[in-house]
Structure 1
Amino acid sequence: MSRRKIFLIAPPFSGHLHPLLGIGEALREIADVRVLSTPGAARACQLPFHPILPQHEQSVWAIAEPGKDVKSNPLLLYRQLKANIALLGDLKAELEALFCQEKPDLIIADFTVPVAGIVAGEMGIEWWTTVPSPCVFETVDGPPSYFGGLAPAETSLQELKHALMRKATRVFKRSMHLLFRRELQAIGFPAIYRSDGSEAVYSPHRTFGLGIPEIEFPRTYPQHFEFTGPVLYTPPDDVHDPVFATDGRPQILITLGTHLPHAKAGMAQTMREIASRHPEIMFHFTHGSRKAKLLPGTENFHEYHLVSYVRHVAKYDLVIHHAGTGILNHCLRHGIPAVVMPLDYDQFDYATRLVEHGLALRARSHADIEAVLLQALADDALKARCQALKVIHAEQDGAQYISGLVAAMA
């Protein structure tokens, strides 16, 4: 039997690209895999690579990094959508030409690239969707995302509020589609929701939540959605390893991921000041970017361009992070407690999930961080809960799960 040809499609952002690369690595022994992303993503890729939107690399990054927190601001969300839609015509034309020439058997695309699914559907190609942040997937019940991090409703009034918020989400999405209906209809996207109520940006056949259900809140999911476990993949790199203390001091990693560069300078300065008051603790701050300007370190505070989560997270006693799903899952895999301070997007939702499940403590501002990190270092119950979930987390591997589904295809 001939090997299947599979295209993996994602934007160049690590939180979306790296899980697809991990899936690709798991598939490479049983299929011919090709990764599609903007040219800048090639550096992270160890698989056959095809660049898309080469003339729009800067525009793609500008959408994800607008220079300010988007949160649920309708105007900023509108601007992001407008910039995104401006690229979709070119992207669809590129994918149509490539799919026609190469004739892939399966498309696995990040949920932020729904145009890949449109083209696949028009050409009769199987299409699956990956969702690195399963909380953003809409359901008919439970707390909706993007409202500041909602916990499950405990009263009838809260349930009513959540229902109204879910309704507001659908109204907002339909309104955005109405504003851009000509452009969206031109690329084959006639409606936000299908006749069965499901969102058209997700595959109606298989949509994978790349996480574990144990940290999610109770919600009702459609049949085509399934949790696979996370995909913990960090591409090989040539960055210097951090210098760890050898005298038994607690070691703390601080990371805000790869986006939101406008927030990192202030956070680095805050942590530098905290470190000066706590020589008994070693602090490592990662900027998540090779382009960042590093300031000189001190005896117990060091800045790094990048710190490999795969190689080094297990060595820390505590991680202070933004509740991004990448670092979140690496911490859970190794049983590392966290202090979370979300900044944007779905980070507030995952911060709430971690806190509600007793896997992290919340810092609501820079002024809170010092006291909260000291509390976390002394919290044996927090450490025990993280160690207990580590066992559950280790049993769920999204890349292997998806590879098994591909191997079982008729």
Structure 2
Amino acid sequence: MSARVDLVAPPMAGHLHPVLGIAARLVREPDLEVRVLSTAAALPAVALTGAVGVELLAGADAEVAEVVDPPYRVGSNPRLLVRQLRATAALQVRLAAELREVWRADPPDLVLADFTMAAVGPTADALGLPWWTTHPSPCAIEARSGPPSYVGGWRPGRGPLGRLRDAGGRRFVRGFKRAAPRLAGARLDDIGLRSLYRADGSEAIYSTERVLALVPEGIEYPRALPAAVRYVGPVLFTPPSSAHPPGLAPGRRHVLVTAGTHVAWHRGALVAAAARAASVLAPRGVELHLSLGRAGASLPVGTSLPDGLVVHDLVDYARDLARFDAVVHHGGSGVLGHTLAAGLPAVVWPVDYDQPDHAVRLVDAGVAVRLERPARLAEAVLRVLEEPGYAAAARTIAADVAARPAVETITAAVRARLGVYGAAPGP
């Protein structure tokens, strides 16, 4: 018996790459047909997995990029959030219409969709298709206890007052989400949603059957999450690149500094902070390697770099990250997962979205220092390099990730759900 799995993801690396990692593993199963549905920008990477690519939202890649990676910080600014929500809603309406057309003509047996693709669930439900959610940032999932996300990175409150604060924060976040469609002039009915929340209080954009949380459970706070959530760990996939491996001078410690592929508006501050830090770290035998996040990227002509700072247009995480001694990153889900899997301590400099929530979790897991002031980057780097507890905690998490590869867990669950090979253990 054969079956087909459709995976749906946006073209942004932090969301697309985990889905591609799952697809690359599923295509190795002889009785599974695998398609990946995304925009044109993602299709070359899809082809590298061996899965069939299906284009959605033709001609909309520039619009998608403007929505998800604007040239400014969004943060908690209501005006900017509403603007982003309005543009997102228009794309989701179009996505729903295109998915209906594709799936009516050729329905899959199971759909796996990144959590940002809000139109997938209602469309799949309307057509009677089973669907699961993949979630690289499960801190964003609303729970019945614990701190909310997107409010600056809260730790769980302690005692009655702390729990009261958390409850108030959760109500605030839920209230904003309820008001957002009206503020953005969007109609939930246009993508098939009756409400943002189900009768049991869970968020309707997530599957009631399975939500695959793509981070190690060991870095998350205990929270009363929906029963569908399963922690499976990071899916580590990076499309092969033409980037040259970074040259690492022997006898020195090497630290990768990266802001990932998004938040381009942050790179100027990152370069300036790295340059200042390098002048302090070079005499201590530490060399900083700054990744600009995309092939062909370069610093402005005439930029002067101090000794101890090397700039790369792109560093291949899958191939090269483990060669470093530590990583300075922004808390994005992609580099976060790769850094944990490599067993490296980190300095986290969060700038937007879910990054403050990731940062506080990494700090409390003992694997990272949060950078509060850019001028103290050198101090933070030396701390994670020279205090052995950070590296030890990171190696412990890496061993757990290696012992239970997420793609194997997910593949077993998909097999069991589809009955392709009979029952198999799953998450």
TM-score, normalised relative to structure 1: 0.96
1:19 aligns with 2:34: no
Bigger CA drift: 321-330 or 181-190? Answer: 181-190
> How far did 1:89 drift?
2.4
Q: Corresponding residue for 1:39?
A: 40
1:332 aligns with 2:337: no
Mapped partners of 1:175, 1:227: distance in 2: 30
Q: Corresponding residue for 1:87?
A: 91
Q: Corresponding residue for 1:157?
A: 161
Q: Corresponding residue for 2:272?
A: 269
Mapped partners of 2:388, 2:229: distance in 1: 36
1:57 aligns with 2:65: no
Q: After superposition, give the CA deviation of every residue in 1:259-289 in whole Å (9 maximum; x if it has no partner).
A: 1001012211221232234332221111112
Point out where structure 2 has 5 or more consecutive residues left out of the alignment.
420-427
Q: Corresponding residue for 1:378?
A: 386
Amino acid at match of 2:324: Y
Say whether the 8 Å CA contact 2:348–2:369 is kept in structure 1: yes
Say whether the 8 Å CA contact 2:92–2:118 is kept in structure 1: no
Q: Corresponding residue for 2:423?
A: none
Distance 1:72 1:138, change over 3 A: same
Percentage of identical aligned residues: 39
Pick one of 293, 296, 309 that aligns with 2:317.
309
Q: Corresponding residue for 1:96?
A: 100
Mapped partners of 1:89, 1:193: distance in 2: 18
> How far did 1:393 drift?
2.4
1:218 aligns with 2:222: yes
Mapped partners of 1:182, 1:387: distance in 2: 46
Amino acid at match of 2:287: M
Pick one of 255, 259, 263 that aligns with 1:256.
259
Mapped partners of 1:55, 1:11: distance in 2: 14
Q: Corresponding residue for 1:367?
A: 375
Amino acid at match of 2:163: E
Say whether the 8 Å CA contact 2:233–2:406 is kept in structure 1: yes
Amino acid at match of 1:168: F
TM-score, normalised relative to structure 2: 0.92
Mapped partners of 1:139, 1:285: distance in 2: 37
Pick one of 381, 398, 401 that aligns with 2:409.
401
Amino acid at match of 1:49: G
> How far did 1:180 drift?
5.3
Q: Corresponding residue for 2:76?
A: 72
Amino acid at match of 1:112: T
Say whether the 8 Å CA contact 1:212–1:396 is kept in structure 2: no
Q: Corresponding residue for 1:293?
A: 298
Point out where structure 1 has 5 or more consecutive residues left out of the alignment.
none
Q: After superposition, give the CA deviation of every residue in 1:151-192 in whole Å (9 maximum; x if it has no partner).
A: 111232111111000001111111113445763212211210
Q: After superposition, give the CA deviation of every residue in 1:8-57 in whole Å (9 maximum; x if it has no partner).
A: 11110011000000000111022111111110112222232111111211
Pick one of 195, 207, 210 that aligns with 2:211.
207
Say whether the 8 Å CA contact 1:177–1:192 is kept in structure 2: no
Amino acid at match of 2:263: L
Mapped partners of 2:361, 2:158: distance in 1: 15
Mapped partners of 1:204, 1:226: distance in 2: 12
Amino acid at match of 2:14: G
Say whether the 8 Å CA contact 1:44–1:235 is kept in structure 2: yes
Pick one of 107, 112, 132 that aligns with 2:136.
132
Bigger CA drift: 203-212 or 19-28? Answer: 203-212
Distance 1:182 1:60, change over 3 A: closer
Say whether the 8 Å CA contact 1:177–1:191 is kept in structure 2: no
| Structure 1 vs Structure 2 CA RMSD | 1.6
